[in-house]
Amino acid sequence: MFDYSLLHWTTFLTAAVLLNLSPGPDIAFILGRTAQGGLRSGFAAMFGIWAGAFGHVLMAAFGLSAILVASATAFTAVKWIGAAYLVWIGLQALRSGGGGFLSDRDPTPPAPPGRIFRQGVLVALLNPKVAVFFLAFLPQFVVPGAGPVPAQLFLHGILIIAVAGLVEPALVLMSHRLMAGLRRKPSLGRWMDRTLGALLIGLGVKLALSGRPE
């Protein structure tokens, strides 16, 4: 069971690393929360994204993601909910006026890690493109005779999250170190919040305008 060649693992792991480094709502959310609230916020966002991705892995492994591909209504509903959520948290960042960044003049604390974790789960779960991606990507690595198809899909999906565990913590640490010396500047805080807000709103609009894969 799970008997794969070296070429199989090399191809899969290379693709998994590149996928985890590609920009998207998940990376934007993780880095934005790290810049706003430091390591605790960044890791809370990261774990939330992973939890949401795990949900997509389960759906792909057991065929539930196929509903999003087969049903235009289901895909559109999830797409609009996800887009609206991204725009909503983007507007929150725009309205904060730099309040997400700690400073001597503005002691507003960052959002609690639990809330950030839940936001991360929703950012991942409410993106139907992620569900479609897992359903399209994972079957390419199913090998006849290597094991039950759902088990193979689940294994490779979990390994994508495991690769994220090697890549994304370093991104959180780098973002935190970069912002550590700058967080006390109120003007930078306002600029970063506005940038994060605009980015999340832009990603929400992009998701809303995206079509259903054929």
DSSP letter at 154 equals: H
Query: Which residue, among 205, 195, 185, 54, has the nearest Cα to 131 in the 3D structure?
Result: 54
Residue 200 has pLDDT above 90, yes or no: no
pLDDT of residue 69: 58
Greatest C-alpha distance within the chain: 63
Residue 158 has pLDDT above 90, yes or no: yes
pLDDT of residue 213: 47
Residue 195 has pLDDT above 90, yes or no: no
Average pLDDT over residues 176-201: 65
Residue 190 has pLDDT above 70, yes or no: no
Is the model's pTM score more than 0.75?
no
